[in-house]
Structure 1
Amino acid sequence: MKTSRMIIVIIAVFLVFLIGINSNKRESKPKIIVVLKTLDSDGQYWKIIESGAKKAFHDFKIDGMVITPKHGVNDQADLLKNILKLKPDALIVAPIQPSPIIPILEKYKRKNIPVLLVDTNLDWNGQTAYIGTDNYGLGEKCGELLGTMLQPGDEVAFIYPTIVNGDMVNRLKGARSVLAADGIKIIAELPADNELGEVKRSLSNILGNYPNIKGIFAATDIVANGTLKGLKEKGVKIPVVGTDGTMQIIKYVENGEISATIAQNPYDMGYISVEQAVKAMNRKTVNKKFDSGIDIIDKDNARTKIDFLTSVQK
């Protein structure tokens, strides 16, 4: 009798153990890791992407994490190597540079982990999807906007980041094509990496050599912000067109310091990248390229955009 009672107890304990395992399986969430370029003081654009991703984590019940490298491209490569050991269900990454990253991403592919690229595309066929802006089209829109503020024969300059990837190349090409068609002369193209130093030096170089310049295309909002500050210090008022739609630039539009700018949709990039990663994990159809679109921000819609950015970053 004691033996049979003991057997019943053992069976009951085993059943409880099995129920516990199945319960844990039901409660476990898919794991998605997002690796961006920065979230530091110059990284408001990336913080908006982070906000979109975190909203999607919540909506799709994802165990998600957004992380960034501390010191650029080499740290990003090391970070991706370490993340692979965690065996995430999907990886979303905004690559800084292709060369050290692609061999690591190939390892994810061999382990059947979906790899989605956000904001920055790579010349690599292994990605599950790219979610971001059509950068050639973005450049065209920037050229069109700048062109509406100028006359044929006017001179303009480009200032762009020192790290130039394929997306940036396409962005610059798009702007060149439209401005050239409008008869506007691009008299200088200079790299500059930060607001406080290089942008001001490049701007001083441009203004010193080309005093008749009528406008500037700044290929990121970090560059645009530095350019606008530099122009203000020098008492020069000419149109500057940026590309990212960050809060400070849109406030310049609202205040009338610039008439309009082009905005990407980083919040949508973050949200959609997670949404598409969930589809890929569930073996559903995923578009290889997803254009997150762009907006023209002027005085009429600047406040609406500011309110939206404020709400998503709370």
Structure 2
Amino acid sequence: MKKRLLAMLLTGALCASMAACSSGGEASTGETDGETGGESSGSGYSIDVILKTTASEYWQYVQAGALAYMQDNPDVTVTVKGAPSETSYQDQLNMIQTDLADDYDGYVIAPLQADMVANLVSGVEKPIVAVDTKIEAPEVLSFVGTGNESAGALGGAAAVEAAKAAGWTDIKAIEIAGVQGDTTNTDRMNGYMKGIEEAGGDFLEDEVQYADAVATKAVDAMNGIMSRHPEGIAIICANNDDMAIAAAKAAADSGNEAYANTIFLGFDGIQSACDAILEGRLTMSVAQQGYEMGYMSVEAVVNALNGETIEEFIDSGADVVTAENAQERKDTLQGYLDAVA
């Protein structure tokens, strides 16, 4: 299993692709000329990668990993694209439907609506791998991503220990969740609940606040939590880092001292989260390995095209980022972005 952690030789095509990401639009196709690069893994394969969006830092890491596989294997062409946002459901469905009818050899898909995507891929005979979020369909050969429930449990347990260290004795937790019904969101929530309760905390399931994975909605959710609980809550766990950072800022701006020692837990471990942790604006984050997800998902499709049997679940790993290791994590992530700058 190859993982090029810095991918320092990505071509100008990757630069163009990342620039498209930062503008929130569809990423351009990256190609190499086939004269230099890594070992051969296929014979002119064309792999289509459709992400939930290309308009966020986390998905840029997934994209960078997918394109790095192409750099290492110049006989494989990788195209990466994504919806404008994680609530642009129809845009992504249209994109998938169009691309399934196109002349690609295999597909990597991170579905916004896994059940709808399962219907779209019904009967497709080309290799399909799901990344980040599962697609329950026999046509999908493998899921590459974080074991979201186990990762959430890891973070939840760490948050309880941090709450104890901060002086909390009544350790209640409320989640600011993502999109209701999304399988990734549900798995993370179940993980948070398990980790928190097994470590001695109380996950308030009836008070979960759905904020559609959007920071502005997380602010509204946090304001509502503070209104209902002026006495403070020990742990606020969020479905992603953007929401966790926004919720922590809302609490700080409120001036309510009861939230001064609240543990704010995010998910993704992106650079902005590392900065926030180092600056004391966020307590911790469950770190996904987005770059590895992108690389390993394309690799899985190519292996399937080569006639190999691939695992049904390929775990890209997870860790908890705290003040002790945030700088190391940030340096690693910056290396990915520098490679395509």
Pairwise same-fold verdict (TM > 0.5)? yes
Corresponding residue for 1:69?
83
Alignment-derived partner of residue 224 in structure 1: 244
For the residues of structure 2 that align with 1:293 and 1:88, how far apart are their CA atoms? Answer: 29
With over 3 angstroms needed to count, the CA separation of the structure-2 counterparts of 1:166 and 1:297, relative to structure 1, is: same
Instruction: Tell me, in whole angstroms, the C-alpha distance in 2 between the residues paired with 1:198 and 1:167.
Output: 19
Secondary structure at the aligned position of 1:200 is classed as helix
Q: 1:275 aligns with which of 299, 308, 325?
A: 299
Alignment match, 1:248: 272
Moved more, 77-86 or 231-240: 231-240
Instruction: Tell me whether 1:83 sits opposite 2:99 in the alignment.
Output: yes
Structure 1 runs not aligned, ≥5 long: 1-26
Structure 2 gap ranges (5+): 1-41
Which structure has more helix as a fraction of its residues? Answer: 1
**2:67 partner letter:** K
For 2:121 and 2:139, how far apart are their aligned partners in 1? 8
- Cα distance change, pair 196–104 in 1 and its aligned pair in 2 (3 A): closer
Q: Distance in 2 between matches of 1:32 and 1:162?
A: 28
Q: How many residues align?
A: 283
Aligned alpha-carbon RMSD (Å):
1.9
> What corresponds to 1:154 in structure 2?
171
Task: Provide the secondary structure at the position in 2 that maps to 1:117.
Answer: strand
Q: Does 1:202 align with 2:221?
A: yes
Q: Which stretch of structure 1 is more off in the superposition, 192-201 or 279-288?
A: 192-201
Residue identity (%): 24
- 1:311 and 1:125, CA in 2 relative to 1: closer, same or farther beyond 3 A? same
- Aligned position for 1:3: none
Q: Which residue of 2 aligns with 1:22?
A: none
Structure 1 counterpart of 2:48, which letter? I
Matched, 1:31 2:50: no
Measured in 1, the distance between the counterparts of 2:129 and 2:330 equals 28
Q: 1:190-238 CA deviation, whole Å, 9 max, x = no partner? A: 1113555321111111111112312201121121122122122123422
Whether the 8 Å contact between 2:265 and 2:286 is mirrored in structure 1 is yes
Matches of 2:101 and 2:215 in 1, distance apart? Answer: 39
Normalising by structure 1, what TM-score? 0.85
Q: What's the offset of the Cα at 1:253? A: 1.7
Of 92-101 and 45-54, the range deviating more from structure 2: 92-101
Partner Cα separation in structure 2 for residue 285 and residue 260 of structure 1? 38
| TM superposition shift of 1:99 | 3.0
Q: Structure 1 residue aligned with 2:191, among 165, 171, 174?
A: 174
Structure with greater Cα Rg: 1
3-state DSSP of counterpart to 2:314: strand
Runs ≥4 residues deviating over 6 A: none
SS at match of 2:115: coil
Aligned with 2:134: secondary structure? coil
Amino acid at match of 2:195: V
Give the distance between the partners of 1:190 and 1:202, measured in 2 at CA. Answer: 6
* Counterpart check, 1:191 vs 2:207: no
Describe the SS at the equivalent of 1:35: strand
CA contact (8 A) 2:155 2:320 kept: no
**Structure 1 counterpart of 2:80, one-letter code:** V
- 2:324 is aligned with 1:300: yes
TM-score, normalised to structure 2, is 0.78
